[in-house]
Amino acid sequence: MSSWSPEKLLPEYVRTFESYIPSKPDQELAKLYGCSRIFRLNNNENALGPPPAAQEILKMFDPRRVSNYPSGDSYYLRRKLAEKYGKDPDQFLVGNGANEVIGFVIKAFCEKGNDIITADKTFAVYEWIAKFSGIETRLVPLKDFTFDDDAILRNISSNTKVIFICNPNNPTGTYWSSKKLERFLQKIDKRTVVVVDEAYHEFVEQDDYPDGMSFIDRYPNLVVFRTFSKMYGLAGLRIGYLVGNLKTVEVIRKTCIVYSVNVMAQEAALAAIDDDEHVTRTCRLVRNGKTFLTSELRILGLPYRCGEGNYVMIKLPMNDSLAYRRLMTAGVMVRSMTGFRFPNYIRVTIAHDEAMRALVAALSDIL
């Protein structure tokens, strides 16, 4: 009898793809690195947690309800989003985190021989999903740490179906202004789908930062992503959504997996969405945290990139994986950035004062 070799059955684009290995649970990492507690500064989570109304939903949740399937299309949440943003409920698709809606778009528009375009140093999931779906990814280098609109336009071919723009960009914090986004959409002239990922939209306080949703009526090929993981502190429940023109969303819905968003996520998001005070408190914490951290980094002589979003990227005079391990011994977990194609950089989430001070002390010790 021959031996079982699943690799023989894999498409080449899956065989050559390297699996993403998530980090171990915090308790295991604490034991591994010998620290009594861990400051999680690696995933851009909200240090304030979910808004109070969402926390109340979770506390009061009747566990017997998990025996029933959730609303298959997040019925009430889509209506709430439509009411808040002045759209039709059918312009929204809710997914199990923004990662899932990335897959919806690629599966809807791309087939073998097509390509997507994005930047070389941005949120990697656009590239990953395309690659293990057998779709070519054309990576355009950042220019001055920002998506290069002219270079993206030059890279469009007859096979390009989707362009992914991360605005503001994770991890550099740079962003396209309203004028730049509009000029880009005009030049695209409906040749491709343009996705603007606004995962960190609520953190941006610049006047010229665009609300992508306001462009949808004029540009039916535009799709906007948002998430409840960052500002609304619901990362553990996995819920995000896309919004676009009715016809565009109608075709994306063909690849949408129903029932993938659990009932607790839907109800917590429904409670969170109207809490503007939570947004104000979070932005204040991030603003103050950036002021403190950048001041300390200048004292330490460390170059950094501090733009929009709740994170800062720091350049170190050492290997970032080594820095990660040494910072972990002090209970400070950061994101090493070689995987983002930024070797010797780390990205840190802006959090409470105690965590920021622990980071600065740990950085001081390892330099």
Mean pLDDT of the residues in the chain:
96
Of the CA atoms within 13 Å of residue 203, those in its CB half-sphere come to 37
* pLDDT at res. 1: 75
Phi, psi of 166 (to 5 degrees): -95, 115
Percent of the chain with pLDDT over 70: 100
pLDDT bracket for residue 11 (50, 70, 90): very high
Q: What is the pLDDT of residues 152-175, one digit of tens each?
A: 999 999 999 999 999 999 999 999
Residue 232 has pLDDT above 90, yes or no: yes
Residue 82 has pLDDT above 90, yes or no: yes
* pLDDT at res. 98: 87
pLDDT bracket for residue 318 (50, 70, 90): very high
Residues 6+ apart with CB under 8 A from 294: 304, 306, 312
Nearest 5°: CA angle at 150, between 146 and 152? 80
User: Which residues is 193 bridged to in the sheet?
Assistant: 162
Which of 311, 267, 306, 293 has the alpha carbon at shortest distance from 359? 293
* pLDDT at res. 189: 95
* Under 8 Å between Cβ of 321 and 338: yes
Which of 347, 274, 333, 289 has the alpha carbon at shortest distance from 24? 333
Residue 214 has pLDDT above 90, yes or no: yes
